[in-house]
Amino acid sequence: MNEKLLQLSLEGLKQLASNERDNINSTKHLFGSAKSNFSTDVRELISRIRRVLSSTQQMKIFEDDPEMFVELQHVMAQSYCDSPEHRKTWLDEIAKKHENDRNYIEAAMCHMHISGLLAELLFRKKLYPHGCNQFQKISPNIAVDEAKLKDDEELMYTPEDLAFHLKEAARLCLDADNPELVPQILSKAVYVYESSKSFVELRDLYARMTDAMDRVIDFQSKKRYFGKFYRVAFYGKDWEDYDQRIFIYKEPKLTQLNEVRARLEEMYSKRFGAEKFEIITDSKPIQELKLDPNRVYLQLTSVEPYFEGPGEPPSGDFEESHGLTKFVYETPFTKEGKARTDDVTKQWMTKNISVTGRIID
């Protein structure tokens, strides 16, 4: 496909939509009312096509970068929030990628998003008792993403398809040592098998819920390590769309800062050149650091989940790692200007709170 030609075509469509909108506004002025969604639909379509083109091109560049690659797959899935078949395809791909990388809870949440999507479709066709809003307790992200369907969507899935993805999510939650989620997830499949009188499937569902609760009880006397979190910020024009963007990375179990640094340094030094790429571990605000505009920077900082404020504090390791939106890290300083001093009476700390745009499960 000639990308330049496609971009010109998109500009032409945008201009047509703009002209149509002007005509509608003129008609409304003359006759008092007018109604059309054409220009809005065209602008949304153009925006979606450009996101897909950009993400497709970048996926080739970042195919050896697991975090960036999945982020771009997510962008693709988000571009199809109102197109169930395409969105499900991308979510399936992300789930496979996460499972292959042993990111089991992330893979489970992909299947839960698919489940929320199918539940919403089936609910609108009166084949399931509720839509994706009832998945809020498992992950609030589901209700946000999966309620964007158009009202005239053709139904291509069955309640059994929904049950399949719920069971896949439950299996992966067990692999992730998150049995607390399993009863909540599998309870959504009970209606499917009760309606079809599939008593063997019902028996197996309840047996899996019982097994999950046994594991929850067992974990009460054990410490689980669900992962460590790092703030990763990108600076430099060579990052293109990711310049000045900030992410929270979740690393497996007890992965230390030096391990994360070594992995990212090796990967990006190959891409940009060791002489051009630099990792910054100083947690100072970036405007206080003198950066070379011709170099590529990545600021890496260890962060912890932040729970201060209204609401109940987390009561266990599961609560401390599920449904997170705030993370904290500290930056040392002294009033004399140096970052650190041996005199503890002169050492100060700035507490920095990072808030994510989406909940981390």
b (16+ CB within 10 A) / e for 178-207: bbbbbbbbbebbbebbeeeeeeebbeebee
Number of other residues whose CB lies within 10 A of the CB of residue 40: 11
Going along the chain from its start, the domains and CATH numbers come out as 62-219 (1.25.40.410), 228-360 (no CATH)
**Per-residue model confidence as pLDDT tens digits over 198-214:** 999 999 999 999 999 99
Number of other residues whose CB lies within 10 A of the CB of residue 103: 22
Output the pLDDT for position 11: 61
Q: What residue type is 284 in one-letter code?
A: K
Task: Give kind and range of the element (H or E) at residue 105.
Answer: helix 104-124
Q: What residue type is 176 in one-letter code?
A: A
**Per-residue model confidence as pLDDT tens digits over 249-308:** 999 988 999 999 999 999 999 999 999 999 999 898 887 678 999 999 999 999 999 988
Q: How many helices (H) and strands (E) does the chain have?
A: 10, 6
Output the pLDDT for position 13: 58
Q: What is the mean pLDDT of the chain?
A: 87
Q: What is the pTM of this model?
A: 0.85
Least confident of 78-82, 152-156, 265-269, 341-345: 152-156
Residues near 321 by beta carbon (within 8 Å), at least 6 away in sequence? 226, 227, 305
Model confidence band, residue 52 (pLDDT cutoffs 50, 70, 90): confident
**Per-residue model confidence as pLDDT tens digits over 103-118:** 999 999 999 999 999 9
b (16+ CB within 10 A) / e for 118-155: bbbbbbbeebbeebbebbeebbebbbebbeebeeeeee
Output the pLDDT for position 29: 47
Better-predicted residue by pLDDT, 343 or 33: 343
Least confident of 25-34, 58-67, 345-354: 25-34
